[in-house]
Amino acid sequence: MNKCVMIVGLGDLGGWVLEFLVRCEGVRRIVTADIREEYGYSKTMTAAVGASQQGFDKRLEFHKLDVNDVDRTAELLHKVQPDVLYSATTLQSWWVPYLLPDNLASKAKQAGVGPFTAGHMPLIHKLMLAVKKSGTKPRVLNNSFPDVINVVLSRNGLGPEIGSGNSDMIMEDIRRKVSYEFNIPPGEVAVYLYTAHAMCMQATTKDIPFSLKIYVAGEDVTGRYDAKELVSGFASLYAPMKMTSWLIHPRVAASAVKNMMAMINGTNELTHVPGPNGLPGGYSVRVGAKGTDIVLPKGLTLEQAIKTNMDALKFDGIEDIKKDGTIVFTDLTRQLTKEWLGADVGKNLKLEDAAEMALELKTLTKKVADKYNVRLEL
Per-residue pLDDT at 188: 95
Q: For the chain, what is the radius of gyration of the CA atoms? A: 20
Q: Which of 227, 204, 226 is nearest to 110 (CA)?
A: 204
Q: What is the DSSP string of 327-338?
A: EEE-HHHHHHHH
The segments of the chain whose pLDDT lies below 50 read: none
Q: What are the backbone dihedrals phi and psi of residue 318, each rounded to the nearest 5 degrees, phi first? A: -100, 105
Residue 68 has a CB neighbour count (10 Å cut-off) of 14
Q: Taking the C-alpha atoms of 142, 6, 65 and 364 in order, what is their torsion angle to the nearest 10 degrees?
A: 20
Q: Which of 210, 223, 225, 218 is nearest to 180 (CA)?
A: 225
Per-residue pLDDT at 1: 62
Q: How far apart are CA 113 and CA 137, in angstroms?
A: 30
Q: How far apart are CA 76 and CA 82, in angstroms?
A: 10
Q: Please classify residue 87 by burial: count the beta carbons closer than 10 Å to its beta carbon, then call 0-12 exposed, 13-18 middle and 19+ buried.
A: buried
The Cα-based distances of 85 to 128, 163, 234 in angstroms read: 10, 11, 29
Tens digit of pLDDT for each residue in 320-365? 999 999 999 999 999 999 999 999 999 999 999 999 999 999 999 9
The Cα-based distances of 187 to 164, 191, 287, 351 in angstroms read: 18, 10, 15, 39
Per-residue pLDDT at 201: 86
Q: Which of 263, 239, 242 is nearest to 173 (CA)?
A: 239
What's the CA angle centered on 281, arms 277 and 282, to 5 degrees? 80
Tens digit of pLDDT for each residue in 209-230? 999 999 999 999 999 999 999 9
Give me the sheet containing 292-294, strands edge to edge: 269-274, 282-287, 292-294
Q: What is the DSSP string of 60-124?
A: EEEEE--TT-HHHHHHHHHHH--SEEEE---SS-TTGGGGS-HHHHHHHHHH-SGGGHHHHHHHH
Domains and CATH numbers, the chain: 3-154 (3.40.50.720), 167-316 (3.90.110.10)
Q: Which residues of 219-242 are buried (b: 16+ CB within 10 A; e: fewer)?
A: eebbeebebeebbbbbebbeeebe
Give me the sheet containing 189-194, strands edge to edge: 189-194, 211-216, 219-220
Q: Assess contact for 80 and 4: CB atoms under 8 A.
A: yes
Q: What are the backbone dihedrals phi and psi of residue 220, each rounded to the nearest 5 degrees, phi first? A: -75, 110
